[in-house]
Amino acid sequence: MKTCVKCVLTDQYPGLTFNEQGICSFCEKKVHFKPIGETGLIAEFEKARMIARKRKIGYDVLVPLSGGKDSTFMLYLAAIKYKLRVLAMTYDNGFLSPSALKNIQTTVKNAGVEHVFHRPDLEILKIVYRTMFRKTGDICGACDIGTNISILKVSHDYKIPLIVSGVSPLENDSFVPDSIQDIARFRYIMKATGRISRREMNKFLIYPNLNYFNQTILKHTGYFGRLIFPLFYIENPSDKEMGRIIREALGWEDSTDSEYTKHFDCIAEPFTNYVRNKIYGYEHRICQYSNMIRRGEITRAHAMKMLDDDHLWEMPANVEPVMEYLGVTKEDLVEIFAYKPLTYEKHTSRINRLFGLAKKVKDRV
Ligand SMILES: [Zn+2]
């Protein structure tokens, strides 16, 4: 396995190349993150305020809150820094960690905002997770689909004009290409197993015919809230600094288990990340640590040490409840580890592929 001399990415990452000095193509391009600018963000917030006033509703923005660092920072920005009227919401994916639940409770109270849980049918959710894991070794994509749809649903139900997402530039390139976030791909995999009826699948998907194209139209027309990513608008505080801000302003508490605290909100994450590492030869952290090195936030040696401490090649502790929930044994895992990456990549909806292509062209212009 070849590792980049500047970051910690390896040749297992799809499409990554190295120059003669051993520098990877990401580091060579040195794609520095350039924020859109705070003016743009403030303009979005002003527009949301105006629409909310016109609609005579009590909320300007919807903040999806997982109890983790990035989403809590969104709560801080929206409620405290920019003084918007916030509804916070949490998609209960069945794997919320006790520390995440505690953080949600504390920070929502301290921010003085209202909060709702959105809960999918837990029996259907279990079938979805079990099927997805068994067929692909991944449940994060299905969870993302459920989360995104429930956010849109809540924005529609409360007529909230703007959704403020904590997706961060730090996570760029850290999701594998065939993560099952595409609904057509999701349907293909679920249907192939015959374990879920059409009615159950539609119930899980809420809006079963949603694709990137009609989703964009529905956001433009105001049927759903518009989705923005504030961390792409402003200079980002370092991971540590972000933790300090929300600790002081909202009483948020850090995880004590690992220096890497992006996803301690999900109890399934150590297990799914471990499986991803086994199938793909790399996982989220390696990509995010590499982004942190390129941003000058940590040194390569520091990242190496964190990766070492994370013991990514060993089965994480306390995974039995997660495995039981997913209905898999250690023997099943041997089969799952042997899955070929990118098996379902081509099973995407034609309209999503076209839309993705059009977006790429537009971004280049
Ligand atoms: Zn590199």
71 C-alpha vs ligand 1 centroid, how far in Å? 28
33 C-alpha vs ligand 1 centroid, how far in Å? 15
DSSP classification of residue 171: G
239 C-alpha vs ligand 1 centroid, how far in Å? 20
Mean pLDDT, the chain, whole residue set: 87
Question: Does the pLDDT of residue 183 top 70, yes or no?
Answer: yes
18 C-alpha vs ligand 1 centroid, how far in Å? 8
Whether residue 131 is found in the same domain as residue 190: yes
286 C-alpha vs ligand 1 centroid, how far in Å? 11
Query: Is 69 within 8 Å of 243 (Cβ atoms)?
Result: yes
Quote the domain boundaries for residue 10: 1-31
305 C-alpha vs ligand 1 centroid, how far in Å? 16
312 C-alpha vs ligand 1 centroid, how far in Å? 19
Whether residue 19 is found in the same domain as residue 137: no
266 C-alpha vs ligand 1 centroid, how far in Å? 28
300 C-alpha vs ligand 1 centroid, how far in Å? 10
Question: Does the pLDDT of residue 309 top 70, yes or no?
Answer: yes
Six-digit token pair at 31?
Answer: 């794609």
Question: Does the pLDDT of residue 279 top 80, yes or no?
Answer: yes
Question: Does the pLDDT of residue 166 top 70, yes or no?
Answer: yes
Q: What is the pTM of this model?
A: 0.88
Q: Could you count the other beta carbons within 10 Å of the beta carbon of residue 184?
A: 14
Whether residue 181 is found in the same domain as residue 289: yes
Give the separation between CA 269 and CA 99, rounded to whole angstroms: 14
32 C-alpha vs ligand 1 centroid, how far in Å? 13
Whether residue 9 is found in the same domain as residue 135: no
3 C-alpha vs ligand 1 centroid, how far in Å? 8
277 C-alpha vs ligand 1 centroid, how far in Å? 18
346 C-alpha vs ligand 1 centroid, how far in Å? 28
Whether residue 332 is found in the same domain as residue 230: yes
23 C-alpha vs ligand 1 centroid, how far in Å? 6
Whether residue 298 is found in the same domain as residue 214: yes
Task: Give the model's pLDDT for residue 31.
Answer: 64
Residue % of the chain over a pLDDT of 90: 47
Task: Give the model's pLDDT for residue 198.
Answer: 87
82 C-alpha vs ligand 1 centroid, how far in Å? 36
Pairing of strands 86-91, 226-228: unpaired
185 C-alpha vs ligand 1 centroid, how far in Å? 31
Count of structural domains, the chain: 2
18-66: pLDDT as tens digits? 999 999 988 988 666 789 999 999 999 999 999 999 999 999 999 999 9
Whether residue 183 is found in the same domain as residue 285: yes
Six-digit token pair at 155?
Answer: 């924005």
77-114: pLDDT as tens digits? 999 999 999 999 999 988 898 889 999 999 999 999 99
Query: Is 289 within 8 Å of 307 (Cβ atoms)?
Result: yes
Split at pLDDT 50, 70, 90, the class of 365 is very low
Burial 56-76 (b: 16+ CB within 10 A, else e): eeebbbbbbbbbbbbbbbbbb
Whether residue 82 is found in the same domain as residue 3: no
Task: Give the model's pLDDT for residue 216.
Answer: 85
290 C-alpha vs ligand 1 centroid, how far in Å? 7
CATH code, 316: 3.40.50.620
Whether residue 26 is found in the same domain as residue 169: no
Whether residue 108 is found in the same domain as residue 155: yes
Whether residue 214 is found in the same domain as residue 74: yes
* Least confident residue range of 78-82, 182-186, 302-306: 182-186
174 C-alpha vs ligand 1 centroid, how far in Å? 13
Query: Is 318 within 8 Å of 121 (Cβ atoms)?
Result: no
> How many angstroms from the chain centroid is the CA of residue 147?
9
279 C-alpha vs ligand 1 centroid, how far in Å? 21
Split at pLDDT 50, 70, 90, the class of 264 is low
Whether residue 315 is found in the same domain as residue 282: yes
Six-digit token pair at 253?
Answer: 């508490």
96 C-alpha vs ligand 1 centroid, how far in Å? 33
